[in-house]
Amino acid sequence: MLHQEFPFVNSPYQKLLHEDKNEVKIYKAPDIFKRTLAPATTTTSVLGIKFNDGVAIAGDIGGYYGKLARYKHLERIFKVNDSTVMSTSGDYADFQHIKETVQQRIISETILEDNFSLKASSLYTWLTRLMYGRRSKFDPLWNNVVVAGYDDGEGFLGVVDLRGLAYEDNCVATGLGSHIALPVLRSAIANASGTFDKEMAHLTLSKCMELLFYRDTCSLPKFQIATITKQGVEISPIIEVKGNWDVAAMVQGFE
Protein backbone atom coordinates (compact mmCIF):
# COMPACT_ATOMS: atom_id res chain seq x y z
CA MET A 1 0.00 0.00 0.00
CA LEU A 2 1.34 3.34 -0.99
CA HIS A 3 1.98 5.88 1.74
CA GLN A 4 -0.42 8.79 1.40
CA GLU A 5 0.84 12.24 2.47
CA PHE A 6 -1.49 14.88 3.74
CA PRO A 7 -1.56 18.15 1.77
CA PHE A 8 0.18 20.29 4.46
CA VAL A 9 2.54 22.09 2.14
CA ASN A 10 1.12 25.59 2.25
CA SER A 11 -1.34 25.13 5.09
CA PRO A 12 -1.20 26.89 8.48
CA TYR A 13 -0.74 23.46 10.13
CA GLN A 14 2.73 23.11 8.65
CA LYS A 15 3.74 26.44 10.22
CA LEU A 16 2.48 25.25 13.61
CA LEU A 17 4.47 21.98 13.39
CA HIS A 18 7.73 23.81 12.61
CA GLU A 19 7.23 26.75 14.92
CA ASP A 20 9.78 27.16 17.69
CA LYS A 21 8.13 28.69 20.74
CA ASN A 22 11.50 29.94 22.02
CA GLU A 23 12.43 31.73 18.82
CA VAL A 24 12.85 35.49 19.13
CA LYS A 25 10.96 37.24 16.37
CA ILE A 26 12.18 40.60 15.12
CA TYR A 27 9.73 42.63 13.11
CA LYS A 28 11.44 45.25 10.96
CA ALA A 29 9.87 48.13 9.11
CA PRO A 30 10.02 47.87 5.30
CA ASP A 31 13.20 49.39 3.78
CA ILE A 32 14.55 50.26 7.21
CA PHE A 33 18.14 49.97 5.98
CA LYS A 34 17.49 52.42 3.16
CA ARG A 35 16.97 55.36 5.50
CA THR A 36 19.71 57.92 6.07
CA LEU A 37 19.89 57.83 9.86
CA ALA A 38 22.89 60.15 9.98
CA PRO A 39 24.65 62.07 7.19
CA ALA A 40 28.05 60.75 6.09
CA THR A 41 29.75 63.44 4.00
CA THR A 42 28.52 66.83 5.20
CA THR A 43 28.97 70.45 4.20
CA THR A 44 28.80 73.53 6.37
CA SER A 45 27.24 76.99 6.38
CA VAL A 46 25.72 78.87 3.44
CA LEU A 47 25.28 82.64 3.72
CA GLY A 48 23.03 84.94 1.71
CA ILE A 49 22.35 88.67 1.60
CA LYS A 50 20.31 91.05 -0.52
CA PHE A 51 21.70 94.27 -1.97
CA ASN A 52 20.10 97.07 -3.96
CA ASP A 53 20.35 95.36 -7.37
CA GLY A 54 20.14 91.67 -6.48
CA VAL A 55 21.27 88.89 -4.17
CA ALA A 56 24.58 87.25 -3.28
CA ILE A 57 25.24 83.94 -1.54
CA ALA A 58 28.47 82.31 -0.36
CA GLY A 59 29.60 78.84 0.71
CA ASP A 60 32.90 77.08 1.22
CA ILE A 61 34.03 74.05 -0.81
CA GLY A 62 34.76 71.53 1.94
CA GLY A 63 33.25 68.10 2.54
CA TYR A 64 33.60 66.48 5.95
CA TYR A 65 33.54 63.08 7.62
CA GLY A 66 32.55 64.27 11.08
CA LYS A 67 35.29 66.82 11.80
CA LEU A 68 37.71 65.46 9.20
CA ALA A 69 38.10 67.65 6.10
CA ARG A 70 37.89 64.68 3.72
CA TYR A 71 37.12 66.56 0.49
CA LYS A 72 38.53 69.97 -0.29
CA HIS A 73 36.88 70.83 -3.59
CA LEU A 74 33.12 70.23 -3.40
CA GLU A 75 31.49 73.11 -5.24
CA ARG A 76 27.88 73.27 -4.02
CA ILE A 77 26.47 76.45 -5.54
CA PHE A 78 24.16 75.21 -8.28
CA LYS A 79 22.99 77.48 -11.09
CA VAL A 80 19.37 76.49 -11.78
CA ASN A 81 18.82 78.97 -14.63
CA ASP A 82 19.76 82.52 -15.59
CA SER A 83 17.84 84.01 -12.65
CA THR A 84 18.10 81.41 -9.88
CA VAL A 85 20.74 79.60 -7.84
CA MET A 86 20.57 77.24 -4.90
CA SER A 87 22.99 75.82 -2.37
CA THR A 88 22.71 73.55 0.65
CA SER A 89 24.38 72.68 3.91
CA GLY A 90 24.13 69.18 5.32
CA ASP A 91 24.48 65.80 3.62
CA TYR A 92 26.26 66.12 0.28
CA ALA A 93 24.68 62.98 -1.21
CA ASP A 94 21.22 64.41 -0.50
CA PHE A 95 22.32 67.67 -2.14
CA GLN A 96 23.22 65.68 -5.26
CA HIS A 97 19.77 64.06 -5.18
CA ILE A 98 18.03 67.44 -4.84
CA LYS A 99 20.16 68.82 -7.66
CA GLU A 100 19.26 65.95 -10.00
CA THR A 101 15.56 66.28 -9.09
CA VAL A 102 15.61 70.02 -9.87
CA GLN A 103 17.46 69.39 -13.13
CA GLN A 104 14.78 66.91 -14.19
CA ARG A 105 12.09 69.46 -13.37
CA ILE A 106 13.88 72.08 -15.48
CA ILE A 107 14.04 69.63 -18.39
CA SER A 108 10.32 68.84 -18.04
CA GLU A 109 9.45 72.54 -18.13
CA THR A 110 11.79 73.24 -21.07
CA ILE A 111 10.03 70.57 -23.13
CA LEU A 112 6.78 72.55 -22.86
CA GLU A 113 8.34 75.42 -24.88
CA ASP A 114 5.98 77.97 -23.32
CA ASN A 115 8.68 80.67 -22.84
CA PHE A 116 8.40 80.41 -19.05
CA SER A 117 11.32 79.62 -16.78
CA LEU A 118 11.28 78.52 -13.15
CA LYS A 119 11.35 81.50 -10.80
CA ALA A 120 13.26 81.48 -7.54
CA SER A 121 10.06 81.92 -5.54
CA SER A 122 8.47 78.97 -7.40
CA LEU A 123 11.49 76.74 -6.76
CA TYR A 124 11.44 77.79 -3.12
CA THR A 125 7.76 76.84 -2.75
CA TRP A 126 8.24 73.55 -4.60
CA LEU A 127 11.19 72.62 -2.35
CA THR A 128 9.02 73.08 0.76
CA ARG A 129 6.71 70.38 -0.64
CA LEU A 130 9.63 68.12 -1.58
CA MET A 131 11.29 68.39 1.84
CA TYR A 132 8.03 68.04 3.77
CA GLY A 133 7.02 65.03 1.68
CA ARG A 134 10.26 63.22 2.48
CA ARG A 135 10.00 64.18 6.14
CA SER A 136 6.47 62.74 6.27
CA LYS A 137 7.85 59.40 5.01
CA PHE A 138 10.40 59.43 7.87
CA ASP A 139 13.11 59.59 5.23
CA PRO A 140 14.17 63.25 5.22
CA LEU A 141 16.72 64.88 2.98
CA TRP A 142 19.29 66.03 5.51
CA ASN A 143 19.79 69.52 4.12
CA ASN A 144 19.00 73.16 4.62
CA VAL A 145 18.48 74.68 1.17
CA VAL A 146 19.16 78.32 0.33
CA VAL A 147 17.35 79.61 -2.77
CA ALA A 148 18.37 82.96 -4.26
CA GLY A 149 17.21 84.68 -7.41
CA TYR A 150 16.00 87.78 -9.18
CA ASP A 151 12.22 87.82 -9.70
CA ASP A 152 10.04 90.59 -11.10
CA GLY A 153 12.67 93.31 -10.71
CA GLU A 154 13.79 92.47 -7.16
CA GLY A 155 15.94 89.98 -5.33
CA PHE A 156 14.58 86.86 -3.67
CA LEU A 157 16.22 84.99 -0.78
CA GLY A 158 14.76 82.09 1.19
CA VAL A 159 15.68 79.00 3.21
CA VAL A 160 13.98 75.58 3.41
CA ASP A 161 15.03 73.09 6.11
CA LEU A 162 14.82 69.29 6.21
CA ARG A 163 11.30 69.38 7.70
CA GLY A 164 9.92 71.68 5.01
CA LEU A 165 9.89 74.75 7.26
CA ALA A 166 10.76 77.86 5.27
CA TYR A 167 11.28 81.59 5.60
CA GLU A 168 12.36 84.57 3.51
CA ASP A 169 14.57 87.42 4.70
CA ASN A 170 17.04 90.09 3.59
CA CYS A 171 19.91 87.98 4.95
CA VAL A 172 20.01 84.27 5.75
CA ALA A 173 22.49 81.70 7.06
CA THR A 174 22.50 77.97 7.69
CA GLY A 175 24.53 75.76 10.00
CA LEU A 176 26.78 77.43 12.54
CA GLY A 177 26.61 80.55 10.38
CA SER A 178 23.09 81.20 11.71
CA HIS A 179 24.68 81.79 15.14
CA ILE A 180 27.98 83.44 14.17
CA ALA A 181 27.56 85.16 10.80
CA LEU A 182 23.89 86.16 10.76
CA PRO A 183 24.29 88.99 13.31
CA VAL A 184 27.15 90.39 11.20
CA LEU A 185 25.02 90.29 8.04
CA ARG A 186 22.12 92.06 9.75
CA SER A 187 24.42 94.67 11.22
CA ALA A 188 25.98 95.39 7.82
CA ILE A 189 22.56 96.13 6.30
CA ALA A 190 21.36 98.17 9.27
CA ASN A 191 24.52 100.29 9.54
CA ALA A 192 25.11 100.86 5.83
CA SER A 193 25.60 104.53 5.05
CA GLY A 194 23.73 105.05 1.81
CA THR A 195 22.88 102.28 -0.62
CA PHE A 196 23.91 98.74 0.23
CA ASP A 197 25.43 97.74 -3.11
CA LYS A 198 27.08 94.70 -4.66
CA GLU A 199 30.61 95.54 -3.48
CA MET A 200 29.45 95.98 0.11
CA ALA A 201 27.57 92.68 -0.06
CA HIS A 202 30.66 90.84 -1.32
CA LEU A 203 32.84 92.45 1.35
CA THR A 204 30.39 91.48 4.09
CA LEU A 205 30.15 87.88 2.88
CA SER A 206 33.95 87.62 2.66
CA LYS A 207 34.31 88.88 6.25
CA CYS A 208 31.71 86.39 7.43
CA MET A 209 33.42 83.49 5.66
CA GLU A 210 36.69 84.50 7.31
CA LEU A 211 34.95 84.62 10.68
CA LEU A 212 33.54 81.13 10.12
CA PHE A 213 37.02 79.87 9.19
CA TYR A 214 38.25 81.10 12.58
CA ARG A 215 35.32 79.83 14.65
CA ASP A 216 33.81 76.84 12.82
CA THR A 217 35.92 73.68 12.91
CA CYS A 218 34.10 72.48 9.76
CA SER A 219 34.94 75.37 7.47
CA LEU A 220 37.66 75.67 4.86
CA PRO A 221 39.48 78.93 4.00
CA LYS A 222 38.24 78.62 0.40
CA PHE A 223 34.80 79.66 -0.78
CA GLN A 224 32.73 80.93 -3.70
CA ILE A 225 30.26 83.79 -4.08
CA ALA A 226 27.31 83.69 -6.46
CA THR A 227 25.71 86.98 -7.54
CA ILE A 228 22.25 87.17 -9.08
CA THR A 229 21.10 90.39 -10.77
CA LYS A 230 18.92 91.32 -13.73
CA GLN A 231 21.97 90.69 -15.95
CA GLY A 232 22.02 87.03 -14.87
CA VAL A 233 23.99 84.71 -12.59
CA GLU A 234 27.70 85.07 -11.92
CA ILE A 235 29.60 82.51 -9.82
CA SER A 236 33.04 83.63 -8.74
CA PRO A 237 36.19 81.55 -8.93
CA ILE A 238 37.42 80.12 -5.65
CA ILE A 239 38.37 82.83 -3.14
CA GLU A 240 40.90 82.07 -0.41
CA VAL A 241 40.77 83.57 3.09
CA LYS A 242 43.96 85.30 4.17
CA GLY A 243 43.81 84.53 7.87
CA ASN A 244 45.33 86.64 10.62
CA TRP A 245 46.10 84.57 13.72
CA ASP A 246 47.59 87.39 15.80
CA VAL A 247 44.39 87.27 17.85
CA ALA A 248 45.44 83.81 19.13
CA ALA A 249 47.90 85.45 21.55
CA MET A 250 44.97 87.11 23.33
CA VAL A 251 43.06 83.87 23.93
CA GLN A 252 43.49 82.88 27.57
CA GLY A 253 42.07 80.34 29.99
CA PHE A 254 42.63 77.21 27.89
CA GLU A 255 46.18 76.40 28.92
What does the domain layout of the chain look like in residue ranges? Answer: 39-231
Active site residues: 36
User: For 215-239, what is each residue's pLDDT tens digit?
Assistant: 888 889 999 999 999 999 999 999 9
Whole-structure pTM over 0.75, yes or no?
Answer: yes
CB 119 within 8 A of CB 112: no
Region 39-231: CATH code:
3.60.20.10
Between CA 222 and CA 241 the distance in angstroms is 6
Q: Spell out where the chain has E strands.
A: 41-43, 46-51, 54-60, 63-65, 68-71, 77-81, 84-91, 143-151, 154-160, 166-168, 171-173, 222-229, 232-235, 239-240
Mean pLDDT of 93-116: 88
Residues 6+ apart with CB under 8 A from 137: none
User: For 8-60, what is each residue's pLDDT tens digit?
Assistant: 455 554 554 455 555 545 555 565 556 677 788 999 999 999 999 999 999 99
Which of 76-80, 207-211, 214-218, 243-247 is the least confident region? Answer: 243-247
